[in-house]
Structure formats: structure tokens, C-alpha cells
Amino acid sequence: MANITAQQVKELRDKTGAGMADCKKALVEADGDMGVAIDELRKRGAASAEKRADRDTNEGVVATKVSDNGQKASIAQVTCETDFVARNEEFVNFVDSIATVVFDKSPNTKEDLLAADLNGNKVEDKYNEILAKFSEKIEVGKFEKIETPGYLVDYIHGGSKLGVVVEVSSPKINDEARLLVRDIAMQVAAMNPSFLDRTSVTQEILDKEKELYKQQATEEGKPADIAERIAEGRINKFYKENCLVEQQYVKDGNMTINDVLKQISNIVGEEVKINQFIRYAIGG
């Protein structure tokens, strides 16, 4: 059996971030072979994850990546149990690397993502190293990649617990217009709209909302015809609260997001519309 030195243990710890005791045990079992010891620590991380499968992951990090020309972007979310881990630099870097892999490799499933290359190894290998280092459940959650002939702008809220990507129709977004599109991304982060516009709201949702409002008005003692008109009025309020383009602009209460889009259109010299928005929030 090989004599395991303190230097070997330190080297393995530097490579994996695992505890000193775990590193020494892995080296002993690997008879001093550094590569085998790393694989053993990864396996332990995966096994440990299975034991923690029933725990809640209400903390984590959202990361985004956008190309220089604004026509390709990715967003990814990785969750964990505690804020202590979520704030750890190595964990944050891992989530950033996930967003980069999604950006570069375009995986369709979690299995594709874990099998993708990350600095010469599989993403799964780094994932298992992270699991081995932190004694809690960590989940590689949702992710997606967006490509557009228009323009994409991202926004990460403080603490990286909330991320947004907004896609607009024009590729002519300059620095001035980009700041306004970023304001729209901040609006999505702050106000959490459920829909882009009225056309995004299904008839089923409208019928349920209208029935609810009619019931409330009836319970308040209003006649049927009045209850109907009240319900219609509240539907309009529903649109203004839940449809992004109709929401009151958080930076100027005298404007709506439609008004902001008009400003952007004037800047770039053509009509600019929002094609879609994506919002990832930890715990929500």
C-alpha cells in the first residue's frame, strides 16, 4: 500500500474541494492514484445525492449568458439547500459553467447536459465533485437556450436568485435602446407578469377570472347586469396587472411598457415588439 503524504492530500483537496479526511480516505483506497481518487470522490458525491433526494432545495443561483451581437442567449438554474452554499464562489462558478455549456452545446435534456464536455471532462463529473464537497442536495434544474434574428438582453437580480432574458424583434438595438430593453427585463423581474399581452391569455383563464369577479360582485349584493359590467371592468384591470406590455412602468408611473417600446422604436427607427420573456426565480 502506498504511503499517502500530506502533499498528496492537499493536492487532491485543491483539485476537488472535498474535505481533508475524505481526500485522505479516497487516496488510501486508490493506493495513491490521484485519478482514481478523484473518480472515487465523484462517486461518493453521486451516492450522497441519492441519500438526500427527499430534501428541499429552496436556495440556489440563476445564471445567464448572451452573445456580443445579442442574438443568442442561455439561462440556467441550479438549486441547493442553504444560502451558505448558494453564496459559495465554487458553486456560483459551477452554475455559470452550466449556462455556458447550454449556450455552447445546446443540450435538450438534463441527460444531454450532464454528458456534455466541460473543460475536458463531463459536466456530470464536475457536478459530482460539487456534491462531494457540499453535504447537501444540489439539483441542476431548468435551462434553455434562445436564438433570434432580433435582440436579447439579460438581467440578473442581486444575489443571483432571479434572472430574466427578454427578446425583442429588432436587431438594431444600440446602447441607448439596450438600456431601455434592460429596464423591461428589470420590470419582468420586479412585477412577474404572467403573460406578454392579451393574446397570450387563454379563453379558459379569462372565463375563470370573469366568473370569479361576477361571483364576488353578486356576493356584494350587486344585480346580475351590474355584476356583469363589474366583471368586465375587473378583467381590464387583470390585463393591466398581468400582461407585461400593459403594466405600469416601474420607473415612471405615467407610462406603460407599451410606451417604453415606443421610445425604443423611435430610437432604432423601426417598430420594436417584445417576442418573449423568460424569468427564472429561485423558490418561485
- Has domain 202-242 been given CATH number 3.40.830.10? no
Which grid coordinates belong to 66? 448572451
May I ask the CATH class of domain 6-51? mainly alpha
Intervals of CATH 1.10.286.20 along the chain: 202-242
Intervals of CATH 3.30.479.20 along the chain: 53-147
pLDDT tens per residue across all 284 residues of the chain: 567 888 887 887 776 666 677 777 778 888 788 888 777 776 666 445 555 555 667 899 999 999 999 999 999 999 999 999 999 999 999 999 999 999 999 999 999 999 999 989 999 989 988 888 887 889 998 999 999 999 999 999 988 999 999 999 999 999 999 999 999 999 999 999 999 999 999 999 988 888 888 788 787 777 777 877 887 888 888 999 999 999 999 999 999 999 999 999 999 999 999 999 999 999 87
The answer to whether 51 touches 66, Cβ cutoff 8 Å, is: no
Intervals of CATH 1.10.8.10 along the chain: 6-51
pTM of the prediction?
0.79
Q: At a CB cut-off of 8 Å and minimum separation 6, what does 17 contact?
A: 90, 129, 130, 132, 133
Report the residue count for the chain: 284
CATH number of 53-147: 3.30.479.20
Query: Which CA distances in Å does 243 have to 146, 181, 239, 251?
Result: 22, 16, 5, 17
Query: Which CA distances in Å does 197 have to 80, 87, 179, 264?
Result: 34, 36, 22, 18
Alpha carbons 53 and 187: distance in angstroms, whole number: 35
Among 164, 238, 167, smallest CA distance to 202 is for: 238
